[in-house]
Amino acid sequence: MTTKWIEFPDVPQFSFKDVSYTTELAALRPFYAYEPSIKGFAKAIADRKKTKVDRATLVAVLQEQYADLSKSELVNQHIKALADENSFTIITAHQPSLFTGPLYYIYKIISVIHLCRKLKLQYPDYQFIPTFVTGGEDHDFEEVNYVNLFGKKVYWKNDLKGSVGMMPTDSLAPTLAELKEILGDSEKAVEIYSIIESAYTNNKIYSKATVQLVHELFKEYGLVVANMNHPKLKRLFIPQIKEEVFNRPSQALVQKTADELSKIDFKPQAFPREINFFYLRENLRERIVFEDNQYKVLNTDYSFTASEMEAEIEAHPEYFSPNVVMRPIYQEVVMPNLAYIGGGGELAYWLERKAQFAHFGVFYPMLIRRNSVMWVDKGSAKKINNFGFGINNLFQDTDSVIRLFVESQSNEPLEIQQEKEAIGKTFDAIAVKAENIDPNLKKAMLAEKTKLLKNLDQLESRLIRAEKQKYDVALNQISKIKDKFYPNNGLQERHDNFLGFYLKYGRGFFDFLLEHLNPLEKKMLVVMDE
């Protein structure tokens, strides 16, 4: 296999925000705390050490969550190490997507593991713990209840409400049966299905199943998986819950930063509420609002006075679920974290939070863009080479690639740009003469020029269409290749699941990625299986 790094500006599928952060747009510098580099960690470590976390509680909760999981000496060492003041986490997080969802779920995790190893070499006096935070409280069921496999969408169907992480797993039986049939009975298929089936049948609720699945996939690399939906961890968050519920600072702070970012064409990423918490109970996760001098839970009969709400927070902090605006604050309160690794969209909403973190007195971590990867299979790589394309051509739109191919195959040049320029200059010269005779004639001449050039554009398109008809088979293959790498006009990593690659490469897929991914390399990795 061969690899190549592609600069972010050369990938048109990446957003302006994404490219701006990875290329270190100067106007963005006030909105983040640390330069995302290996040297930037020196200051991050020094600052992080000034902000204490309750390490004893964190370790106890993680050990409790791992009590029923298969043993991993490296994971156990990492959890115990978190009690040490010289140990820090590097975190990525994601919703509890079915069977891990899109490929970038895996790329985020591998990016974290790779970075921790790199940091240990640079800063040997410290421990860096790769940590994956799973969204145990997430309630966007429609965003996580499916997976794309081999051109087919596999769904988990149920009619339950509330937090996805608290949903029972028994309704997954039909989904598992469908998955087993799709995967087949090869040695690698049997191996990976056994891991998945065990996770979703040995755990009664979905969040625990997710933790087990990720643990089994990455335990040999020492990844620590954390479900933050735990009463003891929420108790550490009580001061911030009260501050947000009663004083409601986040909306104004985040909105002000978003307004400042909009001046450099960064549209708001998250929309803060007056109160950025949900009320969480069994089969229930609804927003808390302040109306008529009461704290109410939407779509329910729950209502609290200020004193009743304070008592509820003290007695049951686990009932208070942070939304996307408060979730980063919660994470950084609980974890001794140095850096967050995420995708372009995630980092865009983190960039709105610096002032909010300062208000709450919480450490604002380094923000690192995860690696993006395009994986080109052997068959597609062969076709791409046969067509005479380079890797960069994969990022062009389909029509441009097709036109490039047709022009390379044609015996006659299909572009008539030189001819159009010559005709344009001729009309310009005639227009000058016409103006000297009668100024009104110049407008007429220029109008004729515009009309003729439009006709020539149409003629050029007809030439290309006529030439395309000679290469129907090849052009269909090109279109299929483009659709394969850009399903639904999106990037491969945002659509396909890792299982297709696991069936082919087994755990070697993870090992290869771990060797080659580097989130401090601010480029996209293209892998050609040749």
216-254, pLDDT tens digit by residue? 999 999 999 999 999 999 999 999 999 999 999 999 999
Q: CA nearest 10: which of 411, 387, 395?
A: 395
Q: Tell me which H or E stretch contains 2.
A: strand 2-7
DSSP states along 102-138: SHHHHHHHHHHHHHHHHHHHH-TTSEEEEEEEE-TT-
Highest mean pLDDT among 49-58, 395-404, 485-494 belongs to: 49-58
**Predicted TM-score of the model (pTM):** 0.86
Q: How confident is the model at residue 408, as a pLDDT?
A: 63
Q: Identify the band that residue 67 occupies on the pLDDT scale cut at 50, 70 and 90.
A: very high
**Residues ≥6 apart with Cβ < 8 Å to 98:** 144, 145, 146, 147, 154, 156, 175
Alpha carbon distance 280, 211 (integer Å): 20
Q: Is the pLDDT of residue 470 over 60?
A: no
Q: Are 66 and 88 in contact (CB under 8 A)?
A: no
**b/e per residue, 36-74, with b = 16+ CB within 10 A?**
beeebbeebbebbeeeebbbeebbebbeebbeebeebee
The mean pLDDT value for 6-17 works out to 91
pLDDT tens-digit series, residues 28-45: 999 999 999 999 999 999
> CA 256, 262, 268 angle in degrees (round to 5)?
75
Q: Are 24 and 409 in contact (CB under 8 A)?
A: no
Starting at the edge strand found earlier in the chain, the sheet holding 523-528 runs: 2-7, 523-528, 372-376
Counting residues of the chain whose pLDDT is more than 70, the rounded percentage is 95
Mean pLDDT of all residues belonging to the chain: 91
Higher pLDDT residue, 386 or 513?
513
Q: Identify the band that residue 460 occupies on the pLDDT scale cut at 50, 70 and 90.
A: low
Domain spans of the chain, in order of start: 2-231+325-376+508-528, 238-256+266-322
Q: Are 100 and 498 in contact (CB under 8 A)?
A: yes
Q: How confident is the model at residue 465, as a pLDDT?
A: 65
Which of 265-269, 350-354, 511-515 is predicted least confidently?
A: 265-269
pLDDT tens-digit series, residues 141-181: 999 999 999 989 999 999 888 899 999 999 999 999 999 99
The mean pLDDT value for 317-321 works out to 96
Q: Identify the band that residue 449 occupies on the pLDDT scale cut at 50, 70 and 90.
A: confident
pLDDT tens-digit series, residues 111-132: 999 999 999 999 999 999 999 9
Which of 66-80, 319-333, 382-396 is predicted least confidently?
A: 382-396
Counting residues of the chain whose pLDDT is more than 90, the rounded percentage is 72
Q: How confident is the model at residue 140, as a pLDDT?
A: 83
pLDDT tens-digit series, residues 501-524: 999 999 999 999 999 999 999 899
Alpha carbon distance 223, 232 (integer Å): 22
